[in-house]
């Protein structure tokens, strides 16, 4: 079954600290993996998109990694800010024009 | 360039009432999607339109109908609303072609069915 599992479900960190969010998937055949940020009351916004051949991709303080062999991805946030408080959703696309497979998200709270 | 827009932002219905959620995109995208998001669950696909003139069921289509009015607009209709349809609804679009074809989401419609 095509699934995307994220951990932890929720996380609270102090402003300025780093954190890493995890994503495991069983989606096949794999096309690409995306991380989205969803602020409360808003739609998801793409942070990174990685294809099979990409191991690491950065977007400012966000760095995503992908291990296609173990079917794992992580999103590392450096020097967290209060504005990083949001849900982070891991999404995998299968090959072909097929619907995306969404994880349930990790709810991150950054506190002062 | 507004991206993906949705109306209304909020709506309260009584059980059995009908309504249409509107979605429009100005990015000349081929494909459009309707999702619902419920607490503790990932986004679930209701219906999608791979291209103008076509629509297909997603994971949770029961109780909904859609219309791809033209390339820009994709509406979602609830014919007889039920409390189980209380949710946040997101419309999305993407351009199908070469590359990673990112999907862009609208701001959402928060629907409550009493």
Spatial distance between the Cα atoms of B48 and B43, rounded to a whole number of angstroms = 13
- The pLDDT tens digits of the residues spanning A91-106 come to 999 887 778 899 999 9
**Best of A41, A100, A101 to disrupt the B interface by mutation (most B CBs within 10 Å)?**
A100
B91 or A31: which leads in pLDDT? B91
The SS3 call for residue B30 is coil
Strand blocks (E) in chain A: 4-7, 10-14, 19-25, 30-38, 45-51, 56-59, 62-67, 72-77, 86-94, 101-102, 106-111
**CA B62 to each of CA B21, B65, B72, B85: distance values in angstroms, whole numbers, following the listed order:** 16, 8, 24, 10
pLDDT score of A21: 98
**Best of A31, A44, A59, A98 to disrupt the B interface by mutation (most B CBs within 10 Å)?**
A44
Q: By the CB < 8 Å criterion, does B103 face chain A?
A: yes
The structure tokens 């408080």 sit at A85
- Residue B79 gets the label, from left (phi > 0), alpha (psi -120 to 50) or beta, of alpha
Kindly tell me if the per-residue pLDDT of A10 is higher than 80. yes
Q: How far is A23 from chain B (nearest CA, A)?
A: 13
Q: Which helix (H) or strand (E) holds B94?
A: strand B87-94
pLDDT score of B100: 63
Number of neighbouring beta carbons within 10 Å of residue B26: 12
Going by C-alpha positions, the residue among A82, A101, A96 that lies closest to residue A36 is: A101
Residues A68, B33, A107, B85: what is their CA dihedral angle, to the nearest 10 degrees? -140
A-chain CB neighbours of B103 within 8 Å are 46, 100
pLDDT score of B24: 97
> pLDDT under 50 in chain B at which residues?
none
Interchain CB distance below 8 Å, A46 and B58? no
pLDDT band at residue A1 using 50, 70 and 90 as cut-offs: confident
- The pLDDT tens digits of the residues spanning A38-86 come to 999 999 999 999 998 889 999 999 999 999 999 999 999 999 999 999 9
User: Quick one: how far is CA B72 from the chain centroid?
Assistant: 13
């Amino acid at each position: 079954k095509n699934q995307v599992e994220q951990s932890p479900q929720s996380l609270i960190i102090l402003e300025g600290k780093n954190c890493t969010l995890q994503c495991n998937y069983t989606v096949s055949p794999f096309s690409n993996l995306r991380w989205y940020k969803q602020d409360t009351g808003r739609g998801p916004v793409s942070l990174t998109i990685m294809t099979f051949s990409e191991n690491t991709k950065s977007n400012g303080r966000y760095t995503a990694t992908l291990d296609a062999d173990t079917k794992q991805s992580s999103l590392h946030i450096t020097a967290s800010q209060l504005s990083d408080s949001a849900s982070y959703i891991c999404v995998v696309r299968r090959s072909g024009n097929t619907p995306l497979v969404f994880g349930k998200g990790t709810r991150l709270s950054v506190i002062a | 360039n507004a991206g993906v827009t949705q109306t209304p932002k909020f709506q309260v219905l009584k059980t059995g009432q009908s309504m249409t959620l509107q979605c429009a995109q100005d990015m000349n995208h081929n494909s459009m999607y309707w999702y619902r998001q419920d607490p503790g669950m990932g986004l679930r696909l209701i219906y999608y339109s791979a291209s103008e003139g076509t629509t297909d069921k997603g994971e949770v289509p029961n109780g909904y109908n859609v219309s791809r009015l033209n390339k820009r607009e994709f509406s979602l209709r609830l014919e007889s609303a039920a409390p189980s349809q209380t949710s946040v609804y997101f419309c999305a679009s993407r351009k199908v072609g070469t590359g990673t074809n990112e999907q862009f989401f609208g701001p959402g419609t928060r629907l409550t069915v009493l």
